[in-house]
């Protein structure tokens, strides 16, 4: 199973510490998934860790989301970082990971695994929703009301090392955060 890959091309959180937090979730999450941070963890030793939740319509209009972005060190059972394919990386249930607060105008690149449905010719927006489990963005032909959304800018590729002489390219979408 492939997991979502995120490249933060130009994000405000790279320069503002307040827009970066540690979180833990009751679901496994991929880089590029969106989550809500509503409360701090009550687990001993996790005083600065937030509890990440799958966005739901009952949350403030599916706005104010945070995006998962943890360095891709793939766990291979006994060791971390031995797998060159970043699509095998995800943050497991109950493990602490990093999130950032997307800002209007941030430029990010996401793989197809970060979206629900296929990118069609008229689908230029990825919108937050709670109808598909909430972690992924859903392709649509317009920005949905006042929910978190990204606007497609270009289709591109991410090269994945295979350990062989050749490399593999996967389709990715460069997007701009257009709604919070």
Whether 1 maps to a domain, the answer reads: no
What is the domain range of residue 104?
6-179
Query: In angstroms, rounded to a whole number, what is the distance separating the alpha carbons of residues 133 and 124?
Result: 21
The pLDDT tens digits along the chain (180 residues) read: 678 889 899 999 988 989 999 999 998 899 899 998 988 988 888 889 999 988 876 666 677 889 999 876 655 556 555 666 777 777 888 899 999 999 999 999 999 999 988 888 888 999 988 765 678 899 999 888 788 899 999 999 988 766 666 667 889 999 999 987
Whether 29 maps to a domain, the answer reads: yes
Query: In angstroms, rounded to a whole number, what is the distance separating the alpha carbons of residues 32 and 19?
Result: 15
Q: Are 147 and 34 in contact (CB under 8 A)?
A: no
DSSP track, 133-168: -SSSEEEESS--TTS-EEEEEEEEEEEEE-SSSSEE
Whether 66 maps to a domain, the answer reads: yes
**Number of domains the chain contains:** 1
pTM for the full model?
Answer: 0.84
């Amino acid at each position: 199973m492939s997991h979502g890959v995120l490249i933060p091309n130009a994000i405000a959180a790279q320069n503002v510490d307040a827009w970066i937090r540690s979180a833990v979730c009751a679901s496994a999450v991929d880089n590029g998934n969106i989550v809500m941070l509503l409360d701090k963890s009550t687990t001993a030793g996790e005083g600065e860790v937030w509890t990440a939740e799958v966005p739901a319509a009952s949350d403030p209009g599916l706005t104010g989301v945070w995006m998962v972005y943890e360095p891709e060190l793939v766990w291979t059972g006994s060791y971390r970082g031995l797998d060159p394919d970043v699509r095998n990386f995800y943050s497991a249930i109950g493990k602490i990971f990093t999130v950032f607060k997307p800002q209007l105008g941030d430029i990010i690149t996401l793989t197809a695994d970060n979206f629900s449905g296929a990118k069609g010719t008229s689908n230029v927006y990825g919108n937050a929703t709670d109808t598909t489990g909430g972690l992924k963005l859903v392709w649509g032909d317009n920005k949905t009301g006042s929910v978190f959304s990204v606007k497609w800018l270009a289709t591109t590729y991410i090269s994945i090392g295979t350990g062989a002489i050749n490399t593999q390219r996967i389709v990715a979408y460069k997007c701009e955060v257009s709604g919070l």
